[in-house]
Amino acid sequence: GESVGLHLPTLSVQEGDNSIINCAYSNSASDYFIWYKQESGKGPQFIIDIRSNMDKRQGQRVTVLLNKTVKHLSLQIAATQPGDSAVYFCAENTGTASKLTFGTGTRLQVTL
């Protein structure tokens, strides 16, 4: 999602549907990417990662796709559940001392 001032972009999905959250990263030299889930008032929680030599990686109910040509990352959540409601951030490793640069975030709202 694109950042719009101080308002997080929001994705609303119905319970049971699939969710796709997008992220555009900035550094073409980044070689490692991570998706995090952050619930209100808590720290980021690791979901899934992918290295730049891959274009797809699957976890349990989640899939990350990487398109290096357009510097785009997406997170797909299958059969979205109410517990998936949170803010999702992508992060890229700049390659220097494992520093992470976080994207702007997308709020996922799961409706019943």
Partner 1 sequence: GAVVSQHPSRVICKSGTSVKIECRSLDFQATTMFWYRQFPKQSLMLMATSNEGSKATYEQGVEKDKFLINHASLTLSTLTVTSAHPEDSSFYICSARADSWQYFGPGTRLTVL
Residue of 100, 74, 109, 80 lying closest to 18 (CA atoms): 80
Q: Which amino acid is located at 7 in the chain?
A: H
Measured CA to CA, the distance from residue 15 to residue 27 in angstroms comes to 34
Q: Which is nearer to partner 1, 84 or 103 (CB)?
A: 103
Residue of 102, 109, 98 lying closest to 25 (CA atoms): 102
Which residues inside 17-56 make contact with partner 1, applying CB under 8 A? 32, 36, 41-46
Q: How far is the CB of 106 from partner 1 (least distance, A)?
A: 11
Q: Which is nearer to partner 1, 3 or 111 (CB)?
A: 3
**99 DSSP 8-state letter:** -
- C-alpha dist (Å) from residue 63 to 10, 18, 20, 37, 81: 20, 11, 9, 14, 15
> Rule CB under 8 A: is residue 70 a binding residue for partner 1?
no
Q: Which is nearer to partner 1, 28 or 98 (CB)?
A: 98
Q: Which amino acid is located at 79 in the chain?
A: A
Q: Which is nearer to partner 1, 10 or 18 (CB)?
A: 10
Of 14, 58, 67, 101, the one binding partner 1 (CB under 8 A) is: 101
Residues in touch with partner 1 (CB under 8 A): 6-8, 32, 36, 41-46, 89, 97-105
